[in-house]
Amino acid sequence: MFRSLGSKKTTIIPLLSLFMLVAAVVLTGCGGGGGGGGHATPTCPPCSSTETSFWAANFVTNSYYCICAAEVATGAQSRIFVQHGMNLPPVLSGLQTEFDTKIYPTNTNNFGSEPNPGIDNDPLITILLLNIKDGLSGAGGSYVAGYFDPGNEYPLFANPFSNQREMFYLNINPILINSGSVTETDFYTTLAHEFQHMIHWEQKNHLKNLDDDTWLNEAMSEVAPTYLYGPSCERLYTYEKDPFNSLTVWNDSVSDYGIAYMWSQYYKDQFGGTIFKEIMQQNSIGITSVNSALTTIPSNTRTFESTFYDMSIAIGSGMTTTTRWTGHPEWTFSVASGIDTWAASCGSIMLPGLFSQNTSTLTTLPALGPWSVGFSSFHSSPTGTITWTAASTLKAAFIDGGNNRLSTNIVSGSSNTYSNDGYLLVSNPSGGSVSSAGSVVRSSVSTLAPAMSLSPKEMLAAANAASQALDRPRSVCVQSAFKEREKERRRKGFKPGF
């Protein structure tokens, strides 16, 4: 349930009216109400002398509203505010120390600098703890764990709802109502995730005037918490439930985060932490920026395409075979990453595994979209044979489980024998779509629908089903919604306020 703001009034402004308000302010040439029937600039009701007013997003009603919050701590890197009527949960008593001494230096070392001192000319980052209005009214439901709104980097004439400061919104409601299933580590993980979004905005949008691909921005936010808090069992579970999902076609589904996490964890294992900072430095976006960053690594000849195929083998091999492919570290994840793609327990989560179902009777494999991977298992005692007929852009590998043997770049139409268990790993290292034909086992590439940005409300509804399947609350990242609003703001010619 929503916590009361006590006697404080709440101002609610529909998000859809944002750009109408912006236009009105520009036309009147002032920061107050426009004459001649223009819209008035929205204002927050006054707070007490010990509190500060903030605009925040209501994801249920698609509107902005105003709250009052008190500053409860000031540190070396951050200011922490708590919404009026709420208290800092005891489990978060170490929040400021965690951010200032761990999250801040780790993220800036691995990704780059945030806006500093930014629009408010203050080197400290505001962390606002509040009950984010996401519709969460009981334990177990999906929720918005936190967000970074780049609209706060704009002056009021460009965004009347700007708080004109570098800040994060962190949701403390899930910790209060979920009785331990949402922990302080979940909270800190969100903070590291959102901080990467702030850094990404500074490095790409602000400094280079580039709008990076959503998949890459989210992949880097997915890996950010792992430097401090280890692998994400939840994301590994998400991936294993839908391993065929496209890396680069972003539809704001829960599954999108599974493959994004696997990709970024693989790059972290293969190239070290500096790879993401190097990607940030490139004056390009998406796959192009990754390829450019890879060229800066001494003696490296690998590309985005070749590493995607290598990653498919590493995923299919699983952590239990980390030492199997002697001399080929490119075909494994590190033991420290905790990537186990076979049925196993990960923390409190039971992973289903990639090969939980025997597909021996299949004559046609599931279609693959751009930059996606398919995994199939076959069982025959004592031996079996699989013939794979490929689409033109597909690449595959085959693991003979009984003889502990890996065959890479297998030839379309050739026979692959195995003892007891065989595993076929097919990747589409391409952004294109083609059709194919086959005789025994066939793989094809599908044409996916264009990426569609869901509203936060739609994302939350979709995540609820995933929450029930995992038997624990699922958090939702709403960064893409703010990205779309900023794109419209920039299209109108507005720029950040510093």
Among 56, 26, 2, 12, smallest CA distance to 482 is for: 56
HEC readout, the chain: CCCCCCCCCCCEEEHHHHHHHHHHHHHHCCCCCCCCCCCCCCCCCCCCCCEEEEEEEECCCCEEEEEEEEEEEECCCEEEEEECCCCCCHHHCCHHHHHHHHHHHHHHHHHCCCCCCCCCCCCCEEEEEECCECCCCCCCCCEECEECCHHHHCCCCCCCCCCCCCEEEEECHHHHHCCCCCCHHHHHHHHHHHHHHHHHHHHHHHHHCCCCCHHHHHHHHHHCCHHHHCCCHHHHHHHHHCCCCCCCCCCCCHHHHHHHHHHHHHHHHHHCCHHHHHHHHCCCCHHHHHHHHHCCCCCCCCCHHHHHHHHHHHHHHCHHHCCCCCCCHHHCCCHHHCCCCCCEEECCEEECCCCCCCCCCCCCCCCECCCEEEEEEEEEEEEEEEEEECCCCCEEEEEECCCCEEEECCCCCCEEEEEEEEEEEEEECCCCCCCCCCCCEECCECCCCCCCCCCHHHHHHHHHHHHHHHCCCCEECCHHHHHHHHHHHHHCCCCCCC
**Which residues partner with 133 through β-bridges?**
58
In this prediction, residue 38 carries a pLDDT of 43
Amino acid in position 492: K
Which residue carries 């990709």 as its tokens? Answer: 263
What does the pLDDT look like over 235-279, one tens digit per residue?
999 999 889 999 999 988 889 999 999 999 999 999 987 899 999
Burial class from Cβ neighbours inside 10 Å (0-12, 13-18, 19+) for residue 439 reads: exposed
Residue 489 pLDDT class (50, 70, 90 cuts): very high
- Top pLDDT among 297 and 362 is at 297
Structure-derived torsion over alpha carbons of residues 50, 54, 58, 64, reported in degrees to the nearest 10 = 130
**Which residues partner with 488 through β-bridges?**
none
In this prediction, residue 344 carries a pLDDT of 80
What does the pLDDT look like over 172-190, one tens digit per residue?
998 888 877 889 999 999 9
Structure-derived torsion over alpha carbons of residues 407, 409, 413, 415, reported in degrees to the nearest 10 = 0
Residue 4 predicted with pLDDT over 50: no
Give the HSE-up count for residue 184: Cα atoms under 13 Å, Cβ half-sphere: 12
Mean pLDDT of the chain: 84
Other Cβ atoms closer than 10 A to 128: 23
Which residue carries 């070396």 as its tokens? Answer: 76
Q: Which of 250-259, 342-351, 362-371 has the highest mean pLDDT?
A: 250-259
Residue 448 predicted with pLDDT over 90: no
Residue 116 predicted with pLDDT over 50: yes
Residue 354 pLDDT class (50, 70, 90 cuts): confident
CA–CA gap between residue 16 and residue 22 (Å, rounded): 11
Residue 18 pLDDT class (50, 70, 90 cuts): very low
Give the HSE-up count for residue 55: Cα atoms under 13 Å, Cβ half-sphere: 24
In this prediction, residue 439 carries a pLDDT of 32
Task: Give me the sign of the Cα torsion angle 199, 203, 209, 213.
Answer: negative
- Overall average pLDDT of the 333-358 stretch: 80
Counting residues of the chain whose pLDDT is more than 70, the rounded percentage is 81
- Top pLDDT among 9 and 134 is at 134
Asked if residues 108 and 123 have their Cβ atoms less than 8 Å apart, the reply is no
In this prediction, residue 367 carries a pLDDT of 81
Residue 302 predicted with pLDDT over 90: yes
Asked if residues 257 and 235 have their Cβ atoms less than 8 Å apart, the reply is yes
What does the pLDDT look like over 377-406, one tens digit per residue?
888 889 999 888 887 778 999 999 999 899
- Top pLDDT among 348 and 266 is at 266
- Cβ neighbours of residue 467 closer than 8 Å, sequence gap 6 or more: 140, 141, 142, 473, 474
Asked if residues 213 and 285 have their Cβ atoms less than 8 Å apart, the reply is yes
Residue 14 predicted with pLDDT over 60: no
What does the pLDDT look like over 308-340, one tens digit per residue?
999 999 999 876 544 568 889 899 888 777 777
- Top pLDDT among 132 and 3 is at 132
Helices (H) and strands (E) in the chain, counts: 15, 16
